[in-house]
């Protein structure tokens, strides 16, 4: 019986001490009321200004990649159309005088040396086509990465088709 009463007194003491640390307990014991809540914040809408029509944004012309058949570097009909679209980039006023790196890429099949040569032929083929259309050849720099920078790292025909490409990289 003494043990139960001791536990009861201990629980009562712990509860009293824990409530004693709370300021709310002291306020209530003194008959004080908590401070009033702060007034609500009133937000006034900003003044509305008349809407001034803005000219439509200039759509930036970007350079698109072209792709090649396996072991080929000739420009296909669909890719010739892409190169004609890319010519608009060179004609755009904001790109006047900008250089472009023409990067030749291959899929992972074949030796490193063979793919470097094939990638260079692809880059040169794309550059020559653009020069024939009227692009300034002095602004086109070619390089071959062979199979070293694949666009898709998978090992299947779909990935290989993506990796057989020429990429156009504008330079600053």
What averages of pLDDT result for each successive group of 10 residues across the chain (172 residues)?
Answer: 70 62 55 69 71 56 90 95 93 90 96 96 96 93 96 94 96 80
All structural domains of the chain with their residue ranges:
66-170
Report d(CA 23, CA 7) in Å as an integer.
27
What pLDDT score does 10 carry? 66
Give the global pTM: 0.64
pLDDT at 13: 63
Return the pLDDT at 21. Answer: 54
Quick one: fold of 66-170? 60s Ribosomal Protein L30; Chain: A; (3.30.1330)
User: Quick one: which of 132, 141, 124, 130 has its CA closest to 89?
Assistant: 130
């Amino acid at each position: 019986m003494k043990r139960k009463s001791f536990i009861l007194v201990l629980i009562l003491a712990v509860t009293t001490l824990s409530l004693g640390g709370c300021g709310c307990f002291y306020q209530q014991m003194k008959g004080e009321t908590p401070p009033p809540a702060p007034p609500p914040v009133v937000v006034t809408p900003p003044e509305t200004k008349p809407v001034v029509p803005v000219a439509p944004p200039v759509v930036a012309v970007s350079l698109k990649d072209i792709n090649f058949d396996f072991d080929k570097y000739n420009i296909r009909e669909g890719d010739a159309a892409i190169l004609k679209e890319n010519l608009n980039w060179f004609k755009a006023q904001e790109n006047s005088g900008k250089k472009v790196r023409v990067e030749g890429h291959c899929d992972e099949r074949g030796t490193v040396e063979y793919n470097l040569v094939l990638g260079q032929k692809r880059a040169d083929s794309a550059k020559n086509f653009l020069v024939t259309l009227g692009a300034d050849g002095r602004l086109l720099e070619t390089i071959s990465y062979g199979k070293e920078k694949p666009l898709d790292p998978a090992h299947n025909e779909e990935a290989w088709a993506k990796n057989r490409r020429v990429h156009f990289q504008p330079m600053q």
